[in-house]
């Protein structure tokens, strides 16, 4: 029991550290290509050498951090090629998952999609008028929740895992567009409502088209 408890404590610390680093990468506090030194990270975020190394290993598998040839770590790059590639993968993965969800989803899934869309619209209204960091985080989570709800019924844990990974990689680009005032909130609202209507009516063609337009608009480079 002692070892189980210690393992659980370590896992919790790593999860908290990973969440903090993900947030700071998304907001640009940790810059693209920035070297990540264990001692400096521990001073800023806490944790032990072991927990910080495990955190960086996890973020490396998620594509947010890269291991360098000198066995150190750095934040991944954020070039136009990176944005283009993330956009490509997100579109392809999410279209496959959404097509399956439309075919397999039940009434309960439709309810979750509707609830997530409602929450997203409230978050978007706040973000459009008062885009401080807390509001931006809430908006980002609402975007994630709606995107996840759409795909949840695809019956493929691996597709969901790929979606999560590349959605996280796209966060800093989406947040940058929001904070720099480059998002068209009216167009987003109409597109998301159209996507919701297409999903509920099981119109796969329109749903996949609108999904692709939404991802491309968020990641316009």
Residue 94 has pLDDT above 90, yes or no: yes
**Residue 3 banded pLDDT, cuts 50, 70, 90:** very low
pTM of structure: 0.85
The pLDDT, as a whole number, for residue 197 is: 98
Same domain, residue pair 113 and 161? yes
Q: Which residues pair with 66 in a beta bridge?
A: 74
**Residue 8 banded pLDDT, cuts 50, 70, 90:** low
Structural Rg of the chain based on CA atoms: 19
Same domain, residue pair 24 and 100? no
Note every long-range contact of 17-20, with CB atoms under 8 Å and residues 24 or more positions apart, other chains counting. Answer: 17/45, 17/46, 17/47, 17/51, 17/52, 17/55, 18/55, 18/58, 18/59, 20/45
Same domain, residue pair 6 and 115? no
Look-up of token digits 């940058």 = 176
User: Which of these ranges, 56-70, 86-100, 112-126, 135-149, has the smallest mean pLDDT?
Assistant: 56-70
- 29-55: average pLDDT: 94
CATH of the domain at 59: 1.10.10.10
CATH of the domain at 146: 1.20.120.530
Q: Do 174 and 27 touch, CB atoms closer than 8 A?
A: no
| CA distance linking residue 30 with residue 24, whole number of Å | 6
Residue 38 has pLDDT above 90, yes or no: yes
Last residue of a domain, which of 75, 93, 125? Answer: 75
The pLDDT, as a whole number, for residue 68 is: 82
The pLDDT, as a whole number, for residue 69 is: 72
- Domain of residue 199 covers 80-218
Same domain, residue pair 57 and 91? no
The pLDDT, as a whole number, for residue 113 is: 98
More confident site: 7 or 73? 73
Q: Which residues pair with 65 in a beta bridge?
A: 75
Same domain, residue pair 42 and 100? no
Q: Do 34 and 78 touch, CB atoms closer than 8 A?
A: no
The pLDDT, as a whole number, for residue 194 is: 98
**Residue 221 banded pLDDT, cuts 50, 70, 90:** low
Same domain, residue pair 49 and 66? yes
The pLDDT, as a whole number, for residue 49 is: 93
Please count the other Cβ atoms lying within 10 Å of the Cβ belonging to residue 190.
12
């Amino acid at each position: 029991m002692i070892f189980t408890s210690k393992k659980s404590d370590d896992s919790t610390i790593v999860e908290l550290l990973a969440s903090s680093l993900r947030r700071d990468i998304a907001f640009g506090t940790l810059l693209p290509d920035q070297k990540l030194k264990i001692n400096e990270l521990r001073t800023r975020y806490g944790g032990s050498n072991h927990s910080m190394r495990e955190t960086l290993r996890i973020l490396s598998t998620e594509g947010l951090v890269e291991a360098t040839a000198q066995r150190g770590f750095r934040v991944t790059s954020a070039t136009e090629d990176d944005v283009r590639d993330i956009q490509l993968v997100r579109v392809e993965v999410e279209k496959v998952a959404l097509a399956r969800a439309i075919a397999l989803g039940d009434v309960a899934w439709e309810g979750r999609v509707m609830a997530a869309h409602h929450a997203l619209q409230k978050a978007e209204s706040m973000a459009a008028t008062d885009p401080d960091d807390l509001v931006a985080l809430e908006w980002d989570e609402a975007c994630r929740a709606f995107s996840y709800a759409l795909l949840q019924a695809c019956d493929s844990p691996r597709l969901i895992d790929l979606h999560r990974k590349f959605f996280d990689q796209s966060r800093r680009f989406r947040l940058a567009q929001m904070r720099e005032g480059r998002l068209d909130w009216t167009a987003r609202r109409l597109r998301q409502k159209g996507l919701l209507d297409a999903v509920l009516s099981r119109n796969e063609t329109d749903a996949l088209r609108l999904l692709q337009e939404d991802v491309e608009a968020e990641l316009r480079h």
